[in-house]
Structure 1
Amino acid sequence: MLFHFSEEDSIKIFVPKEKQNRPDFPAVVWAIDEENEFTYYFPRNCPRIVCRRDEATADQHLQLFFNNTIADIIVTVESDWYTRISKQTIFRYCFDDECFELFDKTAGYYISRQVVKPKLVDTYGNLLERLIQKGVELRFTTNLYPLREAILASDFKGFGIHRFNNAKRL
């Protein structure tokens, strides 16, 4: 089973679309696997940075990004988004995975070049609680730029940066 998250509750079919920030990429329907779905437990435009620890994470990266925690996953969000996250309801559209192909194993992204009909729709509220239940350490900061710059200046590979165009400017 694969999933697509939306703030809209009544999507009947998913038609392949081009990504606005990647006009060179073909029109597709995006989906995510269950292991990585927590990265979408946020309002759509919420900027966030996901850091993941695994057995290959270098000691220097453990010191930089995982110091003083035993969490394997940390999601950092700007503080201004706290209220919106706590009040947000999102909808998880469930798909059969046979018409999808793996796009990015690390992020759990799948794509389909076909129109896709959801099998069912789940309503997700209490997003902060859902993140906690998934074992995610949620951090709030006044600005994401310092963390982003530290990650990009390193050779750390276990991260994802989502909707950063909505982050506050320094």
Structure 2
Amino acid sequence: MRPRPDEVLHFSEDPTITLFRPRVAATARQAAPYVWAVDSARAPDYWFPRDCPRALAWAVPGTTPSDRDLILGPGGGDRVHAVESGWLERMATVELYAYRLPAGPFRPFGAPVAHAVVATENVAPLGPPEPVGDLPALHRAAGIQLRPLDNLWEFWDAVVASSLGFSGIRLGNATPRPPDDAAPDPAA
């Protein structure tokens, strides 16, 4: 599910939205109200239930062969989406919808590389929302590895230290980091 030319997408579990109004999201790091959407390159970042924590990594022009093999895996394609195993059932059953929006009112958001597009005015969808369908199948069809993990943090730490492009979404909802085995036992 990707936008057509001159469109952006907004993904939601709510199929009843008739007008997108700028607002400050509960998880926002900025005070300005926006309508949020994504372009074709970032659409796969949102092929998940809304609150699902995920760690995403993809090859970029400066990706080293060793980082590619370590994180993406040999023959693993150019992109991997890591998700906690406990979210797989929800991924298989969620009813996710894509709203097609006109690209005109939107501008890139994020630095140094835009990770979304935003509008500061009301935006009406171009039509009714479209069911996204089977999310694991959508990943397979796009050649994106969907990697279930018990905990995201070891993977995330490796990704952010690598030469890959990456994004972490809803990581605040992730299972906490495992205790550091190397930490001294305070009872000892």
TM-score (structure 1 length as normaliser): 0.91
State the partner residue of 1:69: 75
- Mapped partners of 2:27, 2:138: distance in 1: 29
**Which residue, 155, 175, 178 being the options, matches 1:147?**
155
State the partner residue of 1:159: 166
Q: Offset of 1:52 from its aligned partner?
A: 0.5
115-124 vs 23-32, greater mean Cα deviation = 23-32
Q: Offset of 1:158 from its aligned partner?
A: 0.3
- Mapped partners of 2:30, 2:103: distance in 1: 25
Distance change >3 Å, CA 119–CA 65, structure 1 → 2: same
- Mapped partners of 1:77, 1:158: distance in 2: 17
The residue matched to 1:35 in structure 2 has which SS? coil
State the partner residue of 2:124: 117
Matching residue's letter, 1:89: E
Contact 1:36 1:107 in 2 (8 A): no
Distance change >3 Å, CA 23–CA 142, structure 1 → 2: closer
Matching residue's letter, 2:151: N
Where structure 1 has 5 or more consecutive residues not aligned to the other structure, the ranges are none
Q: How many residues align?
A: 169
Where structure 2 has 5 or more consecutive residues not aligned to the other structure, the ranges are 1-6, 179-188
State the partner residue of 2:186: none
Contact 1:19 1:25 in 2 (8 A): no
The residue matched to 1:57 in structure 2 has which SS? coil
**Which residue, 6, 26, 48 being the options, matches 2:12?**
6
- Mapped partners of 2:29, 2:41: distance in 1: 28
The residue matched to 2:25 in structure 1 has which SS? coil
The residue matched to 1:132 in structure 2 has which SS? helix
Deviations 1:121-161 (A, max 9, x none): 21112111111111111110100011112233x15350000
Matching residue's letter, 1:116: V
Q: Offset of 1:10 from its aligned partner?
A: 0.6
**Which residue, 7, 18, 22 being the options, matches 1:16?**
22
State the partner residue of 2:99: 93
**Which residue, 13, 32, 41 being the options, matches 1:35?**
41
Contact 2:108 2:118 in 1 (8 A): yes
**Which residue, 45, 49, 55 being the options, matches 2:55?**
49
The residue matched to 2:41 in structure 1 has which SS? helix
Contact 2:68 2:164 in 1 (8 A): no
TM-score (structure 2 length as normaliser): 0.83
24-33 vs 62-71, greater mean Cα deviation = 62-71
**Which residue, 114, 122, 137 being the options, matches 2:145?**
137
Deviations 1:40-66 (A, max 9, x none): 111000111110013321234224312
Q: Offset of 1:23 from its aligned partner?
A: 5.0
The residue matched to 1:117 in structure 2 has which SS? coil
